[in-house]
Chain A
Amino acid sequence: EDKVVQSPLSLVVHEGDTVTLNCSYEVTNFRSLLWYKQEKKAPTFLFMLTSSGIEKKSGRLSSILDKKELFSILNITATQTGDSAVYLCAVESGGSNYKLTFGKGTLLTVNP
């Protein structure tokens, strides 16, 4: 059975802090790893990672994948209150079916 484990499950920081969110996985037929931000409703796409060691960046957010050790990290620098959300890690697996297996998420709270 495919498994995705995120840590920590929750995190409280002050504005301006840097945070690192972790995601480890065990899946058959790995295709990619994705990060999503979930505020009140839809998971919003952040990054899709398919290759080891290549950092993806978008503003203050960055992510990297290690396919040998089967994990990924999501970094957020200079956090803002608007970064408060649940961050979901999901792994895409399977032959041609592209289904996602999600972790439980990390609830990030950024206090002013």
Chain B
Amino acid sequence: EPEVTQTPSHQVTQMGQEVILRCVPISNHLYFYWYRQILGQKVEFLVSFYNNEISEKSEIFDDQFSVERPDGSNFTLKIRSTKLEDSAMYFCASSTTGGPQHFGDGTRLSIL
């Protein structure tokens, strides 16, 4: 069964450094999303992406965050200057029109 894949599974970075989290959505899906889950808290929406542009973003998704679909398969989340509070599990998801969102296994981001 097709699945969403994310790399790396764990990223450790110094505060202030840039990180790029990578995702390969399911191949026939058109809608792409990033969510995060801080340890012990709810899964929170960050951003949705369709037709090569951001459809919606949450208050969390400030100027330090950006998303890109650099080629036909990858979907990336960049955090420009990481802060301690960016430490979380980041999930990528994708869906077809009107279909359920399917999630990847996540990238655990640890900021030191």
Contact assessment for B42 and A94 in the assembled complex, using a CB-CB cutoff below 8 Å: no
CA distance A90 to B35 in the complex (A): 13
User: Which of A10-18, A57-65, A76-84, A97-105 interfaces with chain B?
Assistant: A97-105
CA distance A42 to B26 in the complex (A): 14
- Name the interface residues of B32-46: CB closer than 8 Å to any CB of A: 33, 35, 41-45
Are B95's CB and A98's CB within 8 A? yes
B24 to chain A, nearest CB (A): 14
Shortest CB distance A75–B (Å): 19
In the docked arrangement, what's the CA distance between A97 and B30, Å? 12
Using an 8 Å CB-CB cutoff, how does the interface string of B83-97 with A read, 1 for contact, 0 for none?
000000001000100
1-36 of chain B: CB within 8 A of chain A: 4, 31, 33, 35
Task: State which residues 31-45 of A face B: CB under 8 Å.
Answer: 34, 36, 41-45
The answer, yes or no, to whether A88 is at the interface (CB within 8 Å) is yes
Residue among A44, A48, A97 with max Cβ neighbours from chain B (10 Å): A97
Q: How far is the CB of A101 from chain B (nearest CB, A)?
A: 7
Name the residue on B nearest A2 (C-beta). Answer: B45
Interface size class of A (residues with CB under 8 A): 20 to 34
Chain B residues, CB < 8 A from A100: 33, 35, 43, 45, 101
Q: Using A43-B103, A100-B35 as known contacts, list a sample of 8 further A-B pairs with CB atoms less than 8 Å apart, ordered by residue number in A.
A: A34-B100, A41-B106, A43-B43, A97-B56, A98-B101, A100-B45, A102-B44, A104-B41
Q: Bits for A68-112, please: 1 = Cβ < 8 Å to B, else 0.
A: 000000000000000000001010101011111111110000000
Chain A hits for B100, CB < 8 A: 34, 45, 48
List B contacts of A42 (CB < 8 A): 4, 91, 103-106
12 CB < 8 A contacts A-B: A34-B101, A41-B105, A43-B91, A43-B103, A45-B101, A48-B100, A97-B55, A98-B48, A99-B45, A100-B101, A102-B42, A102-B43
Asked if residues B33 and A99 are in contact (CB atoms below 8 Å), the reply is yes
Report Cα–Cα, A94/B102, bound state, in Å: 18
In the bound assembly, the distance between CA atoms of A55 and B70 in angstroms comes to 41
Chain A residues whose CB sits within 8 angstroms of the CB of B105 once the complex forms = 41-42
